[in-house]
Structure 1
Amino acid sequence: MNNEPLAFRMRPKTIDEIAGQQHIIGKETALYQMIKNGHVPSMLLYGDPGIGKTSLAYAIAGTSRLPFIALNATVSGKKDVEQVVSEARISGKVLLFLDEIHRFNKLQQDTLLPHVESGAIVLIGATTENPFHDVNPAIRSRCGEILQLKRLETEDINALIHRALQDEDRGLGKLTIEMTDEQVERISEGVNGDARKALTLLESLISASDEEDGKIQVEDWLIDNLIGRIGLVGDKKGSHHYNLLSALQKSVRGSDVNAAIYYLANLLETGDLIAVTRRLLVMAYEDIGLAAPEVGPHVLAATDAAIRLGMPEARIPLANAVIEMCLSSKSNSAYKAIDAASRAIHEGNAGDIPLHLRDAHYSGAEQLGHVGYLYPHDTPIGSFGGWVDQQYLPDKIAHIEFYEPVIAGEEKKIASIYKRLKEFRNK
């Protein structure tokens, strides 16, 4: 068997062999037509590991037939970049694939960017991190296309596995392998859209299977065992992690228990318990808020318990918290109120503190006019407690209302009190 990994051998040679990514490189796309007509624009490829960024770059190189150089920004130095520039001068045009492009340093950029701008070097950069956060603007500005690749669908992975099983030159076609369609489907479903993992798992599976009378018989238990060891996508520092946090919060906000529990499970598998508990606590006050004020303390207790317990037991109180938040009444009124007040301050929409609210606990305060404050507790109002009609906001913004109640859950009671006090003030 070839010593090169199966995933490497099965890389597509042209864009017609690409599995999935039809929204980017399908035959009806402008990019496909451009490359077929001999024009390759500089571009950034963004997406999770194993979904085809490197394969797409190699396929574009194979189709365009441009001189092709592949570098990794984590290990390449200025000398490597200068060699690319020299090759471009000799050949007239070079296609450079730069993996981990978000790690490109300024010295490399200064050497390379003028040649990218002139068109002598066509740059295809690949990154697992959000290019708008982690790729230098100088590089982004010279890449006309920023393409976000998607995880491959099960049928795309199926096609890729069948191609590997049948290909006699690059794949496993010279071997007699007995695999059912159901087993291929099981692999495809178990790799979460990662083509590289699928082919790596297939190769491991064949190596671990018994051979009898020249036939390799694949067993179900072996597939299940290997799938359990292939690991998860993402880590606790990458863009995928922050996408999971975002998806968790939006699922809770949308009251979708099943989606929220799914994203919580994903996050806990990455091992960053602190980030998860912090986000859950923020959500309790940002998205549930005054509609169910008891949820905040409940979530605080759950997150404290999770930190004390550690994994795997931490998942239990956190699951309780997530389900309670999903099914609680929701209000973002407090969050919106504080943001509105902050916005007013930053926009210069502020004023002097009224004299009667200023500190008067010293001799001379009366001379400065710090008088006139009315003590609310001296004026009871029904069962509410004390209240007196006096101005608290600065004159300039006394008309502004930052708080807009949401009529939900327990906030209905708060909203009615707020409305009643406004009526008293208006009288």
Structure 2
Amino acid sequence: MQQPLAYRMRPTKIEDIVGQQDLVGPGKIISRMVKAKMLSSMILYGPPGTGKTSIASAIAGSTKYAFRVLNAATDTKKDLQIVAEEAKMSGTVVLLLDEIHRLDKTKQDFLLPLLESGSIILIGATTENPYININPAIRSRAQIFEVHPLTPDDIKLAVKRALKDKANGLGNYPVQLSATALDFLARATNGDLRSSLNGLELAVKSTEPDKKSGDIHITQTIIEECLQKKALSADKNGDAHYDVISAFQKSIRGSDVDAALHYAGRLIESGDLISLIRRLLVIAYEDIGLANPSACERTVQAVNAAKQLGLPEARIPLANVIIELCLSPKSNSAMTAIDNALKDVRAGNYGEIPLHLKDAHYKGAKKLGRGVTYQYPHDFPNDWVKQQYLPDKIKDAEYYYPKDNGKFESAFKVQYFKLRQSSRH
């Protein structure tokens, strides 16, 4: 029986890994390990289908070490012993141990000396937080790396590779994948490449070729059926996807809790967690901002929790913060302030930095007048002293216009105008 497409398309060298470039990209930690052939045991944790097995397979392929896969929950100590014997006979073995958080003490005690000696390079894979769910004895002997859901662009790249690959992919099939089907396939699986590839394979092998051209036309409707996900946030030209995101932000900005939850529900049901959490971060700082800075912090916390949990549980912390952002006081003054400053900069409306603010940490700076008259605010009462910071040309420029929406920015407003009056008048 032929293995699933996702299995067949696993990379055999580091350069072929899709996504996780912060770990496997040129000059990054795992890439450096492989290049130097100085592998150490590691634990990869993150959501399903994000490349944990692919990274292990590519490490083994790039270093030419034997590669074995076991499951900590279902495979026995005897299975580990077989791998250990192979390592003694043929040298180092790279062992991918799936669900490593379920490793019992008997298997752990057997593995520890093998890890110490380097005869087995352990790559543990888990969806659980290793700092909480993995025994410290194993954890202390392995580096811990987090893998993240793949982006839609990552998944599109992998899908296109699979469609071209004649040896392991679907290159021998005359597939015509529509742009909307590709876009939906890349977004609806929430960064899970395994689901995307296996859904694609089902679509290709279950669709009858066109009687005239012989081509297999894969539409968005076919992909929806094979993934069992409906395009609630995307239509034939993709506009509705962005319409939902726009409506989501505008509902929070307008303080309508029910509408915001409705549009969030559409994004969640379509599996588009990535777009939802990115937009939430934008909303927190663009629309709530200085009116409630702590809400911005809690949004970051909720987003991080959602990434750790994945769907469907991710909906819970996100619902909490969506409701809070809706009911929070609003202010866009910080965004407006930086945009005002950028407008001046882009128009060339800026002058020479005052001499007393210029860098004075080099020989000869004093002769040039750099930093000579600078006054260190911490040497003065209340850690403040009157001095000019803006260039002469724009010394009276105003970019920030505080609002009174919420106790935080109201306090900022009082302080801002107090300092402005003291320093510029």
Secondary structure of 1:147's partner? strand
Q: Deviations over 1:286-336 (max 9, x none)?
A: xxxxxxxxxxxxxxxxxxxxxxxxxxxxx9xx9799637741579xxxxxx
Q: Offset at 1:70?
A: 1.0
* Contact map agreement 2:14 2:24 (CA 8 A) in 1: yes
Deviation at 1:224, TM superposition (A): 2.7
1:157-181: per-residue Cα shift (whole Å, max 9, x none)? Answer: 0110000000000011111111233
1:25/1:31 contact within 8 Å kept: yes
Q: Check if 1:126 corresponds to 2:125.
A: yes
Letter in 2 for 1:34: M
SS at structure 1 position matched to 2:209:
strand
SS of equivalent residue, structure 2 residue 168 = coil
Question: Is the contact between residue 184 and residue 220 of structure 2 (CA under 8 Å) also seen in structure 1?
Answer: no
Q: 1:22-421 counterparts in 2 under 5 A?
A: 22-143=21-142, 145-212=143-210, 213-229=213-229, 261=261, 265=265, 323=323, 326-328=326-328
TM-score by length of 1: 0.56
Residue 18 of structure 1 corresponds to which residue in structure 2?
17
Q: Secondary structure at the match of 2:140?
A: helix
How many matched pairs?
267
- Structure 1 stretches of 4+ with a deviation exceeding 4 A read 255-260, 262-269, 318-322
Distance 2:227 2:158 in 1: 17
CA distance in 1, matches of 2:155, 2:64: 27
Whichever of the two has the greater Rg, that structure is 1
SS in 1 for 2:116: helix
Q: 1:261 to 1:68 in 2, by over 3 A?
A: same
How far 1:56 moved relative to its partner? 0.9
Q: Which amino acid aligns with 1:64?
A: T
Identity of aligned residues (%): 44
Aligned to 2:286: none
SS in structure 2 at match of 1:32:
helix
- The structure-2 alpha-carbon separation of the partners of 1:267 and 1:115, relative to structure 1 and needing over 3 Å to count, comes to farther
Match of 1:6 in 2: 5
Aligned-pair CA distance for 1:266: 9.6
Q: Which amino acid aligns with 1:75?
A: T
Structure 2 CA distance for partners of 1:169 and 1:268, relative to 1, 3 Å: closer
Q: CA 1:130 to 1:260, structure 2 compared with 1: closer, same or farther past 3 Å? A: farther
**1:88 CA displacement:** 1.9
SS state at 1:57 partner:
helix
What is the CA–CA distance in structure 1 between the aligned matches of 2:217 and 2:195, rounded to whole Å?
Answer: 21
Letter in 1 for 2:222: L
- Which amino acid in structure 2 is aligned with residue 83 of structure 1? I
What is aligned with 1:420? none
Secondary structure in structure 2 of the residue aligned to 1:138: helix
Secondary structure of 2:137's match?
helix
In the TM superposition, residue 34 of structure 1 has moved relative to its aligned partner by 2.0
Cα drift, residue 82 of structure 1: 1.6
Letter in 2 for 1:155: D
Q: Following the alignment from structure 1 to structure 2, what is the Cα–Cα distance between the partners of residues 321 and 17?
A: 38
DSSP-derived class of the 1:152 partner: coil
Do 1:209 and 1:219's aligned partners in 2 also have CA atoms closer than 8 Å?
Answer: no
Quote the offset at 1:12 in angstroms. Answer: 0.7
Whether contact under 8 Å (1:197, 1:230) holds in the other structure is no
What's the CA shift for 1:217?
A: 1.6
Report the CA distance shift for 1:113/1:190 in structure 2 as closer, same or farther (over 3 A).
same
Whole-angstrom distance in 2 between the partners of 1:322 and 1:22: 31
Deviation at 1:18, TM superposition (A): 0.1
- Structure 2 Cα separation of the partners of residues 321 and 14 of structure 1: 41
1:108–1:259 distance in 2 versus 1, CA, 3 Å = farther
What per-residue deviation string (whole Å, max 9, x for no partner) do you get for residues 249-308 of structure 1? xxx9xx996998489849997xxxxxxxxxxxxxxxxxxxxxxxxxxxxxxxxxxxxxxx
Whole-Å separation in 1 of the counterparts to 2:267 and 2:187: 20
CA RMSD of aligned residues (A): 3.8
* Paired residue type of 1:141: S
The answer (yes or no) to whether the contact 1:256–1:326 under 8 Å persists in 2 is yes
Secondary structure (helix, strand or coil) at the match of 2:123 reads strand
Q: Is the contact made by 2:174 and 2:214 (CA closer than 8 Å) also made in structure 1?
A: yes
1:40 and 1:64 in contact (8 A); partners too: no
- Structure 2 vs 1, CA of residues 256 and 152 (structure 1 numbering), >3 Å: closer, same or farther? farther
Instruction: Judge conservation of contact 2:178–2:220 (CA < 8 Å) in 1.
Output: no
SS in 2 for 1:142: coil
Query: What is the Cα deviation at residue 115 of structure 1?
Result: 1.1
Distance 1:86 1:146, change over 3 A: same
Number of the residue aligned with 1:282:
none
Q: 1:109 to 1:202 in 2, by over 3 A?
A: same
